[in-house]
Structure 1
Amino acid sequence: MNARTTRTFAAALALTAALALSGCSGDSEPKMAVSGAFMPQPVNDKMAGAFMVIKNNTDAADKLTGVTSPLSDDLQIHETKDQKMQQVQAMDVPANGELRLERGGNHIMFMGLKNTPNVGDKVTVELRFEKAGPVKVELDVKERTYDAQNPKSTAGTAH
């Protein structure tokens, strides 16, 4: 090898080592991954619910602290205890675990919709976390009776 080839090879080797040490391998999964995100078609423009599973792919617990959307200026995080829902400031997302937002349980509420989306539409939300960066999610607007636990069934409980 000549000196120029040796220097180029050494620089490439150093860059590869630096990327490997910094964890920038390019195939890392996101800190927070969202699946099954949907909104049942709202009955009116007063309110709607949103449901999804948020998976924390890190070794540190985090908290869902807020949600924003162009569809409403008032999005709330609700927990359900003893069949009663109440607004909370944050919800835990355990380390290497998941937060399930589902019918009859914890969920996100849109209050005062700016318009009423129809089945087949997509609604964009941005989830905010205490530690992880914001995550944009598209909610699929489904039939009012859609049941995420049994997607082929249209029998479900409306929120």
Structure 2
Amino acid sequence: MNRRTPLALALGLTATLTLAGCSSDGGPSGQPELSVSSGYMPQPVSDLAAGFLTITNSGGAADKLTSVTGDLSDDITIHKTENQKMMKVTSFDIPADGELDLERRGNHIMFMDIKHRPRQGENVSIELHFEKADPITVELPVKETTYNPAQQ
């Protein structure tokens, strides 16, 4: 028997187990695949502003929106709305093959103590941070104060 045979068998077995381990999480489809659409910010009338958008996850694994950063404010938080009350949260779930809708009268992004009031027609740049996926930079177009796409 060749002395290299046990080594080759051990390497082959290790490679097979490694590949089996990789495929157990579903491979690429076992990762979140996030995209953002329908983003906007109503023109602020005070030192507070809100942002709205939809995050679509076409991947096979869930993720979480954990924070938002941007130049408009040093204090950007995410809020849920329940029973017409707004509450700060640490994250929002984004289900596998699902969506997270941040919309008026619902869950949203809150900008506190904004540095300036952006005007209709301008864009506000933000970065969305997730538990698993890489950050996504989004340009929110500033719309009229009363803009609501559900009523368009």
Measure the CA separation in 2 of the matches of 1:83 and 1:123: 27
Matching of residues 4-153 of structure 1 within 5 Å = 31-44=33-46, 46-151=47-152
Residue matched to 2:8:
none
Per the TM alignment, residue 150 of structure 1 is displaced from its structure 2 partner at its CA by 3.1
Q: Which secondary structure state, in structure 2, belongs to the residue aligned with residue 133 of structure 1? A: coil
Q: Residue 81 of structure 2 aligns to which amino acid in structure 1?
A: T
Unaligned runs of 5+ in 2: 1-26
Measure the CA separation in 2 of the matches of 1:104 and 1:56: 23
TM-score after normalising by structure 1: 0.75
Per the TM alignment, residue 148 of structure 1 is displaced from its structure 2 partner at its CA by 1.3
Measure the CA separation in 2 of the matches of 1:105 and 1:136: 22
Identity of aligned residues (%): 54
RMSD (Å) for aligned C-alpha atoms: 1.4
Measure the CA separation in 1 of the matches of 2:83 and 2:140: 27
Per the TM alignment, residue 93 of structure 1 is displaced from its structure 2 partner at its CA by 0.4
Measure the CA separation in 2 of the matches of 1:116 and 1:131: 32
Deviations 1:86-127 (A, max 9, x none): 000000000010000000000000001011100000000000
Name the structure where helix makes up a greater proportion of residues: 2
Measure the CA separation in 1 of the matches of 2:48 and 2:41: 11
Unaligned runs of 5+ in 1: 1-21, 24-29, 152-159
Number of equivalent positions: 123
